[in-house]
Amino acid sequence: MESHKPEIVVFLDGDYSDYPEQLDMLVKPIIKGEVVFSLGARLKSLREKGSMTIPQIFGNILSCFLMRLLYSGRFKDLGPFRAIRWDTLQSLGMEDKTFGWTIEMQLKILRRKLSYVEIPVKYRNRIGVSKVSGTTIGTFLAGYKILSWIGKFYFSKWK
């Protein structure tokens, strides 16, 4: 019996910071066939005060700048709220299971010149303490992992 596969997969944090009711905005361009990947961008104007730490904001700016410089990317965020076609996700061969999965996905989208869009989304303060942004070691490890992916990808011949 053939298993049923979804057409689109959506990722969002389960800590109350993302707004699941904005899911329609994220999947609409994929359903319409305009893109294969849609990212919810946590722009400052839509973020609740204190919802992102200074290291997170700096890391986003730096990472997106490097993606623009090295890959001509147009990303403004590494946001966790995202949607992607199932077949596209499968073709990416995702490896990272920790802090680097967001950047890995975006780098592979850019490297393969796949169609994508960023959609501004609201973002609020999370419930609980983050194991990433809520600790010094988590912040350091996430930053290291993200920058490592950018460097590793730039100096590799991966597709």
Q: pLDDT digit string (tens) for 97-144?
A: 988 999 999 999 999 999 999 999 999 998 876 666 666 787 788 888
* Within-domain flag for 1: no
Cα–Cα dist 40/158, whole Å: 26
**Neighbouring residues of 79: CB distance < 8 A, sequence distance ≥ 6:** 39, 40, 41, 42, 102, 121, 123
DSSP 48: P
Give the model's pLDDT for residue 1.
46
* Within-domain flag for 57: yes
**Neighbouring residues of 126: CB distance < 8 A, sequence distance ≥ 6:** 13, 15, 16, 17, 51
3-state secondary structure of 89: helix
* Within-domain flag for 126: yes
Give the model's pLDDT for residue 130.
63
* Within-domain flag for 113: yes
State both tokens at 13.
Answer: 């944090």
pTM assigned to the model: 0.90
| Strand order, beta sheet including 8-11 | 8-11, 82-85, 37-41, 116-120
Cα–Cα dist 126/130, whole Å: 8
Q: pLDDT digit string (tens) for 24-70?
A: 999 999 999 999 999 999 999 999 999 999 988 999 999 999 999 99
* Within-domain flag for 2: no
Split into its structural domains, the chain has a count of 1
Q: Give residue 132's domain range.
A: 8-154
* Within-domain flag for 3: no
- Beta bridge partners of residue 83, listed in sequence order: 10, 38
Helices 101-111 and 136-154 meet at what angle, rounded to 10?
20
